Structure 1
Amino acid sequence: MDFDFSEDQGALRDAVQKWVEKGYDFERRRAIVAAGGFDRAAYGELADLGLAGLYVSEEDGGLGMGPVEGMVVMEALGRGIVLEPLAQTLITTGLLGGYAPAELKAAWLPRMASGEALVVLAHQERKARYKLDVCATTATQAGSGWALSGTKNLVPAADQADAFVVPAMAAGKLALFLVERTATGVGSSGHLTQDGSRAGELTLKDTPAQLITTDGLTALEHGVDIGIAAACAEAVGVMDKTVSITVEYMNTRKQFGVAIASFQALRHRVADMKMQLELARSMSYYASLKLNAPAPERRAAMARAKVQLGQSMRFVGQQAVQLHGGIGVTDEYIVSHYFKKLTQLEMTYGDTLHHLGEVSNRMQDTAGVFA
């Protein structure tokens, strides 16, 4: 199998990496965190690169690209630990493009592709843990439309987004709806997350909503799988940069008059970090290549990938801190922020233990070396 990127994919990666290196340095990121964890101007710059329309068809004003291009972009953004929720845009444009009626697509996809509108997925609830079929939010028909009531937690950019894709129970079945920020009954609050990005709580009280699909669980699982693949790719970028920072530090930090990079035991640790990075990279490729597979195959692939990524993220992050010593956990030094990002990504869309259970549940009777 040929894993070389095409010329267009390489150009896309280079354009995003150039923006990260020149337009999103550590000081700008620190300023964005201090201002609340989200910068509409930075998100607009991503949209100007065409990234908000990556999964939007050309007819709706997007680039009409696919999972591999999404992986390339998220890996490049991971290297700069970019705070703006582009992964959310990939999820919601994918959901609207694949499941919404034509009029809803026409109303929102061009605006999302241009960066004019930020739409995020609001699916997490306190009692659900990582289970997608557990939902207390309710939807009732109100005339020709729908009204939603409930609370969603840890919604990315909750007090900044222009609209939300919200799962809710309609007549005992999970359905998916679009809720505008300006609709009556919408309340939101915002706070910083562990990695410095912005999230918050979304409350709905008899809030008007537009139906995306009545097959909400199928659509939600697909959307979360897009998010898992994006998180895997982003984590590879974060780990790649973490290893580079660690190696650079070891080449400059001296102990007993020599650089600590000359100590064999420490070199072995870096070799182990590199091995975990490459294992994670291969599983990120696997996840992206399986995004368009049939649902059972796709779901199993995402769980497998997230298990390996979770193990790799924990190992690389912890080793980076250990090899740096005390400076590795200070806010002033950049590697601590990469460590926090890896810690948060490990828990995004299900932690390692959750996905290990998913892998186990999806094993067939013939699974194993003796099959």
Structure 2
Amino acid sequence: MDFELSDDQVALCDGIRDLCQGRFDIDTVRGLADCGGVDRQLWGELADTGVFSLVVTEDEGGVGLGWAEAGLVFEQLGRALVPGPLVGTLLAAEVIDDAVVGFMERPYGPALVEYPEVIDALLVLDRDGVWRVDASELSVEAAQSVDPLTPVGRVDLLPQGEQLMDFCYGWANRAVFLNSALQVGLATGARELAVAYAQERQQFGKPIGQFQAIKHKCADMYSREEVARAALYYAGCVMDVTHGPGLPADPGGYLYFEGCTIELGDTLGDREHQELVRAVSGARILAAEAADHNGKDCVQVHGGMGFTWEIDAHLYLKRAWALTPQFGSLDRHADRIANLVGADPLGHAAPLG
């Protein structure tokens, strides 16, 4: 079995990395905080490269790649701190053309909507399916965001909107997977920033990276990043088996929302579904923890100035904090995995309690 990326996948990563370095350098990204987090021209360039049509079939005008490749691309976008409703716009590519699209679960009460000033539409996921709410229907109040590059607005009541489809399970897994890819990229970017500083900052006549306390911290950052990346890549492979081009968008199963469990089909006993739950939720937990801890360690490696606005370390940590609550808390994903513990070899879930 070959665990290395193919030549085409390496070329894809290199191409997106070059695009990010050329068009989304850190100064440009910082400047986007003043225009709602999205520059329409730069966003159009992302769309023109096929970022949002990666998993749309070629017959439908897309690139025709798989979810594994989408994960690679979103990893690079996270590494470069590219802001914007990336997940929602990719998920919406099959149903909404040429739009900047947000994506969220339907809240049970007031909610925060990301990028309210720039989105054209909002895709809302609930127990009945996926709904489109036009931005013009939203009544948004200004709200404070933890991430300066992820502006949010408060919505007291979310309109019902137009139903686009009556299934949602596949969409939930896709959103979780793409969110995890962004967080693996954040973990990488934070580690790279910390290591670069540790190599150049001198103390007692030598780089601080030569001191054990800093050296071990950077090694821990790399270990977390690699474990999360391995889980992400495996989840991408499982996604392609269960959600790939030409396969049903909704394999059935169970989806967990706050306060309720939705049964979407009698397929919990299927081995593929169980493996999908383990892979996607496992990657979600590891990626979120890697992004959070690496962001904190990056700040620590920079010392006192790591807490200042001028140093980029805080941007990785704040983006991690903004992404982690999305598409289910880590406890919810841990519960998804725990519910499969004790399943017998034939794939039948054992009763809990």
Where on the TM-score scale, by shorter chain, does this alignment land: which range?
Answer: 0.7 to 0.9
Residue 204 of structure 1, CA deviation: 6.4
Question: Which of 269, 281, 284 is matched with 2:232 structurally?
Answer: 284
Q: 1:288 to 1:189 in 2, by over 3 A?
A: farther
Residue matched to 1:179: 133
How many residue pairs get matched? 315
Q: 1:206 to 1:351 in 2, by over 3 A?
A: closer
Residue matched to 1:258: 206
Secondary structure of 1:347 counterpart: coil
Question: Which of 186, 194, 199 is matched with 1:238 structurally?
Answer: 186
What letter is aligned with 1:332?
Answer: E
Distance 2:10 2:51 in 1: 14
Residue 246 of structure 1, CA deviation: 0.8
Distance 1:301 1:330 in 2: 37
Spell out, residue by residue over 1:189-227, the C-alpha distance to the aligned partner (whole angstroms, 9 max, x if none). Answer: 5656322223334576876x4432233xxx1x3222112
User: Which ranges in structure 1 are unaligned for 5 or more consecutive residues?
Assistant: 98-104, 128-150
Residue matched to 2:151: 198
Q: Is the CA contact (8 Å cut-off) linking 2:281 and 2:333 kept in structure 1?
A: yes
Question: Which of 118, 121, 125 is matched with 1:160 structurally?
Answer: 118
Residue 295 of structure 1, CA deviation: 4.0
Residue 23 of structure 1, CA deviation: 1.0
User: Which ranges in structure 2 are unaligned for 5 or more consecutive residues?
Assistant: 243-271, 346-353
Bigger Cα displacement from structure 2, 293-302 vs 28-37: 293-302
What letter is aligned with 1:166?
Answer: V
Please tell me the root mean square deviation across aligned C-alpha atoms, in Å: 2.6
Q: 1:36 to 1:178 in 2, by over 3 A?
A: closer
Residue matched to 2:266: none
Residue 304 of structure 1, CA deviation: 1.5
Spell out, residue by residue over 1:155-183, the C-alpha distance to the aligned partner (whole angstroms, 9 max, x if none). Answer: 33234222232345xxxx6233223345x
Residue matched to 1:91: 91
What letter is aligned with 2:166?
Answer: T
Q: 1:362 to 1:91 in 2, by over 3 A?
A: farther
Q: Is the CA contact (8 Å cut-off) linking 1:266 and 1:323 kept in structure 2?
A: yes
Residue matched to 1:338: 316
Residue 334 of structure 1, CA deviation: 0.9
Secondary structure of 2:324 counterpart: helix
Q: 1:124 to 1:175 in 2, by over 3 A?
A: closer
Secondary structure of 2:65 counterpart: coil
Distance 1:186 1:312 in 2: 34
Q: Is the CA contact (8 Å cut-off) linking 1:120 and 1:161 kept in structure 2?
A: yes
Query: Structure 2 matches for 1:40-189, cutoff 5 A?
Result: 40-93=40-93, 97=94, 105=95, 108=96, 111=97, 116-126=98-108, 153-167=111-125, 174-182=128-136, 185-189=137-141
1:360 aligns with 2:344: no
Residue 301 of structure 1, CA deviation: 2.1
Query: What percent identity do the matched residue pairs reach?
Result: 29
Residue 21 of structure 1, CA deviation: 0.7
Q: Is the CA contact (8 Å cut-off) linking 1:123 and 1:155 kept in structure 2?
A: no
Residue matched to 2:33: 33
Distance 1:301 1:278 in 2: 15
Q: 1:248 to 1:296 in 2, by over 3 A?
A: same
Distance 1:126 1:210 in 2: 18
Distance 1:271 1:8 in 2: 29
What letter is aligned with 1:238?
Answer: L
What letter is aligned with 2:179?
Answer: A
Distance 2:324 2:48 in 1: 30
Q: 1:264 to 1:177 in 2, by over 3 A?
A: closer
Q: 1:296 to 1:156 in 2, by over 3 A?
A: farther
What letter is aligned with 2:37?
Answer: G
Q: 1:8 to 1:120 in 2, by over 3 A?
A: same
Secondary structure of 2:102 counterpart: strand
Residue 265 of structure 1, CA deviation: 2.9
TM-score (norm. length: structure 2):
0.80
Bigger Cα displacement from structure 2, 315-324 vs 17-26: 315-324
Distance 1:186 1:313 in 2: 31
Residue 228 of structure 1, CA deviation: 1.5
Secondary structure of 2:2 counterpart: coil
Residue matched to 1:134: none
Distance 2:157 2:298 in 1: 42
Q: Is the CA contact (8 Å cut-off) linking 1:87 and 1:227 kept in structure 2?
A: yes
Q: 1:58 to 1:162 in 2, by over 3 A?
A: same
